[in-house]
């Protein structure tokens, strides 16, 4: 009587129970679940007519649109594998991922048709190119194909260990790696998300998070599982976020810390009219306590931090609230909320270990690497056994994240292992220093990186983005940091920049900042 654990099971249930509920809002387009699943079935039929079979790859390059959302149902129910690609990459990156994944079909939004055509000569394995919106010579048109199709397709048997998605890492230091996520991986993450981050049929979810990023943290399926409504947002702008929250009665959204910073620093007249009670899930990078405090205190929203990686489907911890937190001040509660927290009920075992793979003491001070094992951990890196073996050594997935564990069992990331600054033999957490600088009233964003030093080996250097119309000097920020930190942790030097380099998911690209140190030294 066993049935495979797959997100498609949630779709089956919602088809039956919530067919008349509003499923998707994308601009002026509004679809019920019956209409949405009809479109998904029609696209499955088209894909099979185009030659897509079980195990084949279908690549997508698109922002958060209804067509992008449809792909997460239409592709896997044919037994094929979805390859959601970061649309902010360069054309050569598109070519590498499409080729490496073995994608036979490429579906792209109008904004990216030209970029794909620029590398089309490299895509000999692709049999069809589909324009999700817009038109261009040599491209099939998505809506025309849907209209000409019936919803009848050949249902494929799914094994829960079959590949569901190939999600490519950002590849900041090497070629992107294809993370193999199975139906079981995603199913377990969805169940865990709903246990710790409950949603219901009356909730309306705003797509501020890119769907391509770890399958939208699996919210492409999580929202559907409870019959809630997907509200698409094609481009994140703080003013638009507030507008959509009000216009569409949004209850839930996911946001990387960089999006939270933008929301927290939106013009006062916009913030003052914000709808109260919005529930926000943040992940992707450690958020600053100051940002959490401002969003919760000023906007009346509730923030819950989750932590994970693309390789863990993605959540492995959640900073769940405990009764003893309720009596704390807003500032003290924000400090706890900035921690990564404890294992989800479904994610498996998490430990923080030293270089000998021994678990570190839970003292809130001893730094080790987060390692995990459990049902959400990827099947491996596609076509890369060496990288898989290295990441999975000893039967644990090694995250590369440096963390401490507090006496209450809550893990707290202090840095990426490679980003920990060692100055005079002392470890400096860039996350800790950034969190202090973000409490300065003039600072909107901050990034700390280690610069070489002949005396200390490394010293912290700050890159700072000031708030609009705010002023501060480097000496003022250094003094502020020294007032709140051990002096050796304070940045030796400060560079003011108009913006920080980030990935499409909001992570600061510190390798770019380090690369500019020679130019800074010459100033």
Rounded Cα distance, 87 and 60, in Å: 9
293 & 413 share domain: yes
Cα angle vertex 169, ends 228, 386, to 5°? 130
Residue 189 lies in a domain: no
Backbone angles phi, psi at 127, to 5 degrees: -95, -30
Q: What is the pLDDT of residue 514?
A: 84
Backbone angles phi, psi at 128, to 5 degrees: -145, 145
Q: Among candidates 342, 267, 250, 329, which has minimal Cα distance to 296? A: 329
Report, in this order, helix, strand and coil percent for the chain, each rounded to 5: 35, 25, 40
Residue 404 lies in a domain: yes
* DSSP sequence for 159-173: -TTSEEEEEE---SS
Q: What is the pLDDT of residue 519?
A: 61
CATH number at residue 330: 3.40.50.12780
Q: Which residues of the chain have pLDDT under 50?
A: none
pLDDT tens-digit readout, 466-516: 998 899 999 999 999 999 988 889 999 999 999 998 876 677 888 888 887
Q: What is the pLDDT of residue 516?
A: 73
Q: What is the pLDDT of residue 520?
A: 66
169 & 51 share domain: yes
Side-chain-side CA neighbours of residue 422 (13 Å): 6
Strands 421-423 and 140-141: unpaired
Q: Which residues of 51-122 form beta strands (DSSP E)?
A: 57-61, 81-84, 103-108
Residue 218 lies in a domain: no
107 & 176 share domain: yes
Burial 416-427 (b: 16+ CB within 10 A, else e): bbebbbebeeee
Residue 196 lies in a domain: no
354 & 473 share domain: no
391 & 450 share domain: no
Rounded Cα distance, 479 and 474, in Å: 9
Look-up: residue for tokens 């790696």?
177
pTM (global) more than 0.75: yes
Cα angle vertex 17, ends 14, 19, to 5°? 75
Of the candidates 389, 417, 445, which is a domain's last residue? 417
404 & 429 share domain: no
Residue 202 lies in a domain: no
170 & 258 share domain: no
Residue 24 lies in a domain: no
Residue 192 lies in a domain: no
Side-chain-side CA neighbours of residue 128 (13 Å): 19
Q: What is the pLDDT of residue 257?
A: 84
pLDDT tens-digit readout, 160-181: 999 999 999 875 556 889 999 9
Of the candidates 140, 167, 182, which is a domain's last residue? 182
Residue 342 lies in a domain: yes
CATH number at residue 489: 3.30.300.30
Burial 372-400 (b: 16+ CB within 10 A, else e): bbbbbbbbbbbebeebbeebbeeebbbbe
Rounded Cα distance, 248 and 246, in Å: 6
Q: What is the pLDDT of residue 173?
A: 52
426 & 408 share domain: no
Of the candidates 378, 397, 417, which is a domain's last residue? 417
Strands 204-207 and 252-255: parallel
400 & 428 share domain: no
Q: Is 244 left (phi over 0), alpha (psi -120 to 50) or beta?
A: alpha
Burial 162-200 (b: 16+ CB within 10 A, else e): bbbbbbbbbeeeeebbbbbbbbbbbbbbbbbbbebbebe
Find the domain containing 248 and state its range: 236-417
378 & 443 share domain: no
Q: What is the pLDDT of residue 176?
A: 87
80 & 128 share domain: yes
Q: Among candidates 499, 449, 491, 455, which has minimal Cα distance to 473? A: 491
- Whether 392 and 380 have beta carbons less than 8 Å apart is answered as yes
Q: How many domains does the chain have?
A: 3
371 & 404 share domain: yes
């Amino acid at each position: 009587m066993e049935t495979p654990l797959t997100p498609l099971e949630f779709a089956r249930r919602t088809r039956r129970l919530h067919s008349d509920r509003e499923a998707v809002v994308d601009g002026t387009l509004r679809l019920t679940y019956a209409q949405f699943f009809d479109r998904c079935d029609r696209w499955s039929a088209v894909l099979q007519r185009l030659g897509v079979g079980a195990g084949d790859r279908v690549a997508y390059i698109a922002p958060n649109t209804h067509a992008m959302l449809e792909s997460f149902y239409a592709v896997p129910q044919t037994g094929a594998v979805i390859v959601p690609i970061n649309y902010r990459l360069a054309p050569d990156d598109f070519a590498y991922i499409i080729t490496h994944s073995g994608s036979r079909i490429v579906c792209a939004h109008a904004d990216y048709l030209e970029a794909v055509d620029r590398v089309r000569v490299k895509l000999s394995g692709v049999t069809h190119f589909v324009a999700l919106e817009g038109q261009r010579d040599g491209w099939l048109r998505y809506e025309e194909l849907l209209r000409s199709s019936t919803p009848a397709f050949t249902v494929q048997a799914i094994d829960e260990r079959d590949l569901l998605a190939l999600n490519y890492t950002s590849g900041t230091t090497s070629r992107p790696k294809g993370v193999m996520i199975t139906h079981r991986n995603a199913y377990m993450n969805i169940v865990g998300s709903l246990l710790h981050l409950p949603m219901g049929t009356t909730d309306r979810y705003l797509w501020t998070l890119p769907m391509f990023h770890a399958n939208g943290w699996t919210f492409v399926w999580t929202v559907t599982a409870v019959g809630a409504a997907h509200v698409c947002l094609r481009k994140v702008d703080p003013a638009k976020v507030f507008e959509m929250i009000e216009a569409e009665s949004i209850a839930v959204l996911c946001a990387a810390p960089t999006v939270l910073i933008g929301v927290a620093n939106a013009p006062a007249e916009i913030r003052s009219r914000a709808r109260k009670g919005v529930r926000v899930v943040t992940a992707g990078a450690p958020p600053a306590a100051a940002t959490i405090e401002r969003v919760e205190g000023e906007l009346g929203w509730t923030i819950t931090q989750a932590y994970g990686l693309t390789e863990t489907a993605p959540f492995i911890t959640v900073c769940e609230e405990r009764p003893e937190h309720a009596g704390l001040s807003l500032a003290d509660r924000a400090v706890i909320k900035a921690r990564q927290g404890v294992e989800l009920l479904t994610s498996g075992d998490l430990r923080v270990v030293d270089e000998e793979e021994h678990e570190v003491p839970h003292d809130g001070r001893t730094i080790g690497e987060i390692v995990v094992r459990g049902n959400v951990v990827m099947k491996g890196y596609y076509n890369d056994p060496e990288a898989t073996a290295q990441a999975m050594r000893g039967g644990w997935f090694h995250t590369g994240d440096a963390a401490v564990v507090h006496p209450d069992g809550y893990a707290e990331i202090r840095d990426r292992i490679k980003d920990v600054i060692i100055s005079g033999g002392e470890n400096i957490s860039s996350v800790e220093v950034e969190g202090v600088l973000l409490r300065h009233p003039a600072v909107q964003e901050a990034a700390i990186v280690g610069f070489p030093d002949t005396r200390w080996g490394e010293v912290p250097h700050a890159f700072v983005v000031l708030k609009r119309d705010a002023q501060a000097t480097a000496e003022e920020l250094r003094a502020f940091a020294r007032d709140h930190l051990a002096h050796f942790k304070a940045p030796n030097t400060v560079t003011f920049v108009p913006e920080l380099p980030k990935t499409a998911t909001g992570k600061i690209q510190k390798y770019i900042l380090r690369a500019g140190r020679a130019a800074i030294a010459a100033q």
